[in-house]
């Protein structure tokens, strides 16, 4: 059921690109929007991991440079039945982590310096297992494409808003055009965040199975959430949903709508993990 929902959400993002293209250039613009969506997906298939790593200013590390981290990732990925991913570290004090890449054979697991400093060994294993679950579930590419399309929709809408829409014999209703150009990016962001929320619950469950310690992951999520609210991180909003907890939580207003949240409520994630541990 979750996969069907995600497919529908991705279709919604593509439809938004086409709709904005229609406003900007009529039928030709709609076709161009569809081609642009296809082009972005193809581009992100090959370049997603490098773009995300740049966004977080992360650097790839070897087994010699980070032996304990590398050994932990290697041990857990064997338990998950996955090929060895590239390992990277991002220079941020906030404890966080993410996975990216186009498929399990070309994947990256990245942790921040803050995560390595603040987490216990069991908690760190839980976090890494969660990221390996994203790889096992093939979430990384989907979420990265969603982030890119959401960003592209915002840029296209901004361009159309300032430089005008189509100018043909049929004409375009200016109020409809303005509404699409303003509301389109907001809807795209909501769809992107919904995709992220759908995948996090599943990654928590599979990650708990990989590590064998659902409570360790639950404890890690609680500490990560508290730390993210206290320690700011500078990262692109489009890349924020890829992290295990919202890295921009310190900048968010309290009481933000669930629809506008990049991640499910941590309390709900922790409750689900505790329920797993009680089985």
Average pLDDT, the chain: 81
Give the β-pairing of 106-112 and 97-103: antiparallel
Active site residues: 131
Specify the pTM.
0.76
Number of structural domains (the chain) is 1
pLDDT higher than threshold 50 for residue 136: yes
Q: Is pLDDT at 131 greater than 50 in this prediction?
A: yes
What domain range is 52 assigned to? 2-277
Q: What is the structure's pLDDT at 9?
A: 57
Least trusted range by pLDDT, from 32-46, 117-131, 150-164:
150-164
pLDDT score at 2: 47
Q: Quote the CA–CA distance of 146 and 182 in Å, as a whole number.
A: 19
Mean pLDDT of 12-41: 70
Residue 162 vs residue 139, higher pLDDT: 139
At residue 250, the pLDDT reads 83
CA pair distance 56, 247, nearest whole angstrom: 10
Q: Other C-beta atoms within 10 Å of 5: how many?
A: 12
pLDDT tens track for 137-151: 888 767 666 666 666
Tell me what pLDDT residue 211 has. 95
Share of the chain above pLDDT 70, in %: 64
C-alpha separations of 68 from 34, 78, 85, 172, 246 in Å: 46, 16, 15, 60, 26
Mean pLDDT in residue range 11-21: 70
Question: Which pLDDT belongs to residue 1?
Answer: 42
- Alpha-carbon span 243 to 23, nearest angstrom: 34
Q: Which residues of 129-139 are buried (b: 16+ CB within 10 A; e: fewer)?
A: bbbbbbbbbeb
pLDDT in tens, 183-232: 666 666 666 666 666 789 999 999 999 999 999 999 999 999 999 999 99
Q: What is the C-alpha separation between 90 and 228, in angstroms, rounded?
A: 15
Predicted local confidence at residue 88, as pLDDT: 98
3-class DSSP assignment, residue 266? helix
User: How much is the pLDDT for 244?
Assistant: 95
Alpha helices in the chain (DSSP H): 2-55, 67-80, 113-118, 121-136, 140-163, 174-211, 214-230, 266-277
């Amino acid at each position: 059921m979750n996969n069907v929902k995600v497919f529908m959400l991705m279709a919604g993002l593509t439809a938004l690109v086409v709709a904005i293209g229609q406003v900007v250039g009529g039928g030709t613009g709609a076709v161009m929007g569809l081609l642009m969506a296809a082009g972005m997906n193809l581009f992100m298939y090959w370049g997603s991991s490098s773009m995300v790593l740049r966004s977080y200013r992360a650097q790839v590390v070897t087994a010699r440079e980070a032996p304990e981290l590398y050994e932990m990732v290697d041990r857990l990925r064997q338990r998950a039945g996955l090929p060895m991913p590239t390992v990277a570290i991002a220079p941020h004090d906030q404890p966080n982590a993410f996975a990216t890449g186009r498929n399990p054979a070309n994947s990256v697991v990245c942790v921040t310096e803050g995560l390595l400093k603040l987490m216990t060994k069991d908690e760190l294993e839980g976090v890494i297992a969660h990221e390996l679950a994203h790889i096992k579930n093939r979430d990384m590419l989907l979420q990265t494409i969603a982030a890119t399309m959401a960003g592209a929709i915002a840029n296209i809408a901004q361009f159309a808003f300032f430089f005008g829409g189509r100018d043909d014999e049929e004409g375009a209703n200016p109020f409809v055009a303005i509404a699409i150009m303003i509301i389109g990016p907001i809807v795209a962001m909501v769809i992107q965040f919904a995709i992220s929320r759908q995948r996090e619950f599943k990654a928590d469950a599979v990650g708990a199975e990989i590590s064998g310690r659902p409570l360790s992951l639950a404890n890690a999520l609680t500490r990560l959430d508290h730390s993210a609210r206290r320690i700011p991180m500078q990262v692109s909003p489009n890349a924020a949903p890829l992290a295990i907890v919202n890295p921009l939580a310190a900048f968010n207003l309290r009481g933000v709508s669930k629809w506008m949240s990049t991640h499910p409520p941590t309390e709900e994630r922790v409750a689900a993990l505790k329920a797993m541990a009680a089985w």
